[in-house]
Amino acid sequence: MDRFRLDAHVKVLDETVAERAKARGLDGLVYAPHFTRLPDIRERAAEFTDDDLLVVPGREVFTGDWRNRKHVLAVGLEAPVPDFITLEAAMAEFDRQDAAVLAPHPEFATVSLEAHDIRAHRDRIHAVEVYNPKHFATHNERARELAAEFELPAFGSSYAHLPGTVGEVWTGFDRRFETADELVAALREGVPRGVYHRDGPRHRLRCMAEFGHLFYENSWGKIDRLFLSGTEPTHPDHIAYDGRFDDVSVY
């Protein structure tokens, strides 16, 4: 029986999301919104953490340039890491900080780690996502193949960009975690877990809604307006990074 049920990647967090997570029997969420600096993510995660729900801060870092981007989910970062730096630099920084490094939606669309990326960074990756509501069945099957090929643990998440999707997918552990550090350690150590998801017509509708949202979130115009000016919070040129990533920035 699962003693800790984790939705391992959500983009939204408010009172409604927290209550929905609890109602669906979740014990934890990894909160990793796009283009948001780590201190802000930590503050919001702490706001919604209580005795019934552990909200763990994470960063889905967009590595590479817009046309060759690779998303990587880091959990347990101690210091901020910007978007749009090279994959190699991001992986080195995650390793330096002893973060848990997860491969979300592998080989999906043009935004994911591919087999050769996982092979190159196999020793720095701690799990591969094998179920995601934005995936078709063939994507989930391929993700399971990649996890098996590289002998990496699996995880699943709702990847919720819409509040109603939270808790549609979860990763179940046979032990309890009281703190974010305990969860990060379990992810890094490959603690056994299972991946589960809801089923039926409502689940399929939630999957369709999330897939539809994909086109909005990946529009070039949106990113161009919101991010590439160099002044946005997770741009490597932002003053918050004090020039530390200038030599590995792709913009």
Residue 223 has pLDDT above 80, yes or no: no
Determine the structural domain holding residue 11 and report its residue range: 4-242
Average pLDDT over residues 84-103: 98
- Determine how many CB atoms are found less than 10 A away from the CB of residue 179: 11
- List, in order, residues 6 or more apart from 63 with CB less than 8 Å away: 69, 70, 71, 72, 83, 84, 85, 86, 87, 89, 90
Q: What percent of the chain has pLDDT over 70?
A: 93
Segment 130-164, tens digit of pLDDT:
999 999 999 999 999 999 999 999 999 999 999 99
The angle formed by the CA atoms of residues 109, 125 and 92, to the nearest 5 degrees, is 100
Whether 248 is covered by a domain: the verdict is no
CA dist., res. 207 & res. 250, Å (int): 33
CA dist., res. 112 & res. 214, Å (int): 14
Whether 247 is covered by a domain: the verdict is no
> What pLDDT is attached to residue 65?
87
Strand partners, 156: 131
Q: What is the pTM of this model?
A: 0.94
Whether 251 is covered by a domain: the verdict is no
Whether 21 is covered by a domain: the verdict is yes
Counted domains in the chain: 1
Residue 8, H or E segment: strand 4-10
Q: Which two tokens stand for residue 123?
A: 């020793």
Segment 181-220, tens digit of pLDDT:
999 999 999 999 999 999 999 999 998 999 887 766 655 4
Q: Which string of DSSP letters, residue by residue, matches 147-189?
A: HHHTT--EEE---BSSGGGTTSEEEEESS---SHHHHHHHHHH
> What pLDDT is attached to residue 225?
46
Choice among 35-39, 65-69, 106-110, 176-180 with the minimum mean pLDDT: 65-69
CA dist., res. 61 & res. 71, Å (int): 6
Residue 91 has pLDDT above 50, yes or no: yes
Whether 34 is covered by a domain: the verdict is yes
In 3D space, the residue among 208, 127, 140 whose CA is nearest the CA of residue 173 turns out to be 127
Residue 221 has pLDDT above 50, yes or no: no
Segment 35-65, tens digit of pLDDT:
999 999 999 999 999 999 999 999 999 999 8
CATH of the domain at 67: 3.20.20.140
